[in-house]
Amino acid sequence: MLRISDNHLARFLLICALLGLSACTTLGPDSREPEVAWLSNWQSDLYTQVGGSQQRSGFDTRFWWRLFDDTVLNDLIDTLKRENPSLRIAGLRILESRAVLGIAGSNLYPQVQQLDGAISYVNTRQHGGVASSNNQSLTSYQAGLGLGWELDFWGRFRRGIEAADAAFFASITNQQDVQVLLSAQVADLYYAYRTTELRVNIARENATIQKRSFNITEQIYNSGQGSELDLQQAKTQYLATLSTIPDLQITLTKTRNALCALLGRAPGNLPELAVPLDKLPDMKPQLIKDIPARQLLRRPDVRTAAWQVAAQSAQIGIAEADYYPAISLLGSIGWSGNSVDATPNTTALSIGPSFSWKFLDYGRISNNVRVQDARLQQSIENFQNRVLQAAQEIDDAAISVVKTAEQQRLLSDALHAAERSLELANKRYQEGYADFQRVLDAQRSLFSQAERELVNQGKHISAVISLYRAIGGGWLNTPVEQLIPEDMRKTMQDRSDWGDLLSAPLPDSPANPPTVLETSQHE
């Protein structure tokens, strides 16, 4: 029977304790969110012009599309949240990164846990010769358990967990960013479809007016009282207006198909669009009083970039750990025996520390550290660039909202003038005070002004949508059970053992990763 003396056991425990106490060094920089120097003094004057008296602090940007007061749009976005393939992929990436985080955490425990065993039967037979035959047989048994535990002496594994943790939170904010982009895209496509529908209506209404004029000129020409020039001009204008409708119908179909793709449906009719709108909404954006600078840093894509900085920062510590020896505890227990009575069974115990050190690396480790540091600086620059782009998007959307609103007032007045001009032209032509060319010019002007007024109204709505997208509105914290559909979750659970990763609640995402990059401990 194997016995371990109290002295040996005490020494072994002392060694383990000393190693454990020593294993508190963490190499590499501690990640904090990079500062944006210009942001504290930046304030978009255009942003303050957008809302005016409409600004309010209680406005919930998570549901900004409800300001349009359109139940069809609300239903489409609800469908998007349930059925969109890109949103499901973003949800699956959260589950993937959750599993990767579990892999990283397992490195804190013994990395090698190997159980071996074997049974062998040996039968020996001798034939021929002078000596008598001597047949032998035996059965041998052996079993062993081996453990190998590399201690996290330099923080390699802790940095790995830190990187995986940051990547996990980045996957969550990325899913939130997908919500922002897709919600805005659905709203933009929906109102682009409605705008095109109304443009078709305008073209048909103008074609009806122009056809009436064409019929009148045709009757006058056939009676010998009019010129063929008036007839051909009226016909040209009528047919030219009709020719715009097929192109608009192409746009309608493409826009509808794009909506279908976002909703996870095959191209075809959308029942939700069956009832047309009489007119586009007169949209005046509601803004919050919070300054855009604070809005920028809360955008999901900016948060994703910040978490990517944190994840890459940890990679430097992982690379620097290769400068130092890997210190491990190794142990094994083995037992072997056989069926021969004269042979004793054997039990063996082996335990103790070990280390391995690649002290000649020919620049591989130092260059790997430089690679990781360069990648960290790239991620910092990506964060800075993302904030700049966010500020640009807010200003671009704000100027579009302000100027399309100004243009709308002018185009509405121009449309009223065009309507009055056509009325006067018809009257003067009927009374004989003007030729038919004046009527044609007035009809053409009315069609053009009605088109421009409607198209600009659509641009204004699109600018409002872009503004809400730019400030990062339109996302919710998604519970884990809503990341992917129930049938997909069941399929994955049946295919592989996911444990509770498909059902355990997601952790609350910290508002920020830890905030300035400190210098590395490795000189």
Of 11 and 283, the structure prediction assigns the larger pLDDT to 283
CA–CA distances in Å: residue 262 to residues 107, 295, 459: 41, 27, 21
Give Cα 291 distance to the centre of its chain: 25
Are the CB atoms for 319 and 369 separated by under 8 Å?
Answer: yes
221-240 mean pLDDT? 86
Which residues on adjacent β-strands are paired with residue 114?
Answer: 146
CA distance 327 to 356: 7
492-504 mean pLDDT? 92
The label of the residue with tokens 């505890």 reads 329
For residue 522, the model assigns a pLDDT of 36
Residue type at position 86:
S
pLDDT band per the 50, 70, 90 thresholds, residue 519: very low
pLDDT band per the 50, 70, 90 thresholds, residue 256: very high
Instruction: With a cut of 90, say whether residue 302 has pLDDT above it.
Output: yes
Quick check: helix, strand or coil at residue 66?
helix
Instruction: With a cut of 90, say whether residue 129 has pLDDT above it.
Output: no
Domain count, the chain: 1
Token code pair at residue 34: 């990079």
For residue 1, the model assigns a pLDDT of 40
Are the CB atoms for 509 and 177 separated by under 8 Å?
Answer: no
H runs (alpha helix) in 107-264:
156-222, 228-262
Residue 338 covered by a domain: no
206-216 mean pLDDT? 86
Number of Cβ atoms within 10 Å of the Cβ of 158: 23
Note the maximum CA span of the chain: 144
Ranked by mean pLDDT, the top range of 232-241, 257-266, 425-434 is 257-266
Range of the domain at 383: 25-112+154-324+367-495
- Residue 127: DSSP 8-state: -
CATH of the domain at 286: 1.20.1600.10
114-118 mean pLDDT? 87
Residue 329 covered by a domain: no
Instruction: With a cut of 90, say whether residue 182 has pLDDT above it.
Output: yes
Token code pair at residue 12: 């072994």
Strand arrangement, sheet containing 112-124: 112-124, 136-150, 326-338, 346-356
CA distance 427 to 421: 10
Q: What percent of the chain has pLDDT over 70?
A: 86
pLDDT band per the 50, 70, 90 thresholds, residue 510: low
Quick check: helix, strand or coil at residue 362?
coil
46-61 mean pLDDT? 62
Instruction: With a cut of 70, say whether residue 57 has pLDDT above it.
Output: no
CA distance 255 to 406: 27
Of 62 and 12, the structure prediction assigns the larger pLDDT to 62
CA distance 212 to 199: 20
377-389 mean pLDDT? 95
Residue 212 covered by a domain: yes
CA distance 100 to 168: 8
- State the virtual CA torsion across 70, 76, 80, 84 in degrees, nearest 10: -150
Are the CB atoms for 35 and 264 separated by under 8 Å?
Answer: no
What value does the mean pLDDT of the chain take? Answer: 85
pLDDT digits (tens, 9 = 90+) for 309-357: 999 999 999 999 989 888 888 888 888 887 777 778 888 888 888 888 8
**Buried residues in 376-387 as b, exposed as e (16+ CB within 10 A):** beebbeebbebb
Give Cα 473 distance to the centre of its chain: 14
Residue 105 covered by a domain: yes
pLDDT digits (tens, 9 = 90+) for 148-163: 888 888 888 899 999 9
Residue 241 covered by a domain: yes
Residue 422 covered by a domain: yes
CA–CA distances in Å: residue 426 to residues 228, 260, 440: 19, 45, 9
Are the CB atoms for 85 and 492 separated by under 8 Å?
Answer: no
Number of Cβ atoms within 10 Å of the Cβ of 62: 16
Which residues have a Cβ under 8 Å from the Cβ of 436 and sit 6 or more positions away? 213, 217, 226, 230, 233, 234, 429
Are the CB atoms for 138 and 122 separated by under 8 Å?
Answer: yes
pLDDT digits (tens, 9 = 90+) for 419-434: 898 889 888 877 777 7
Residue 17 covered by a domain: no
Residue 90 covered by a domain: yes
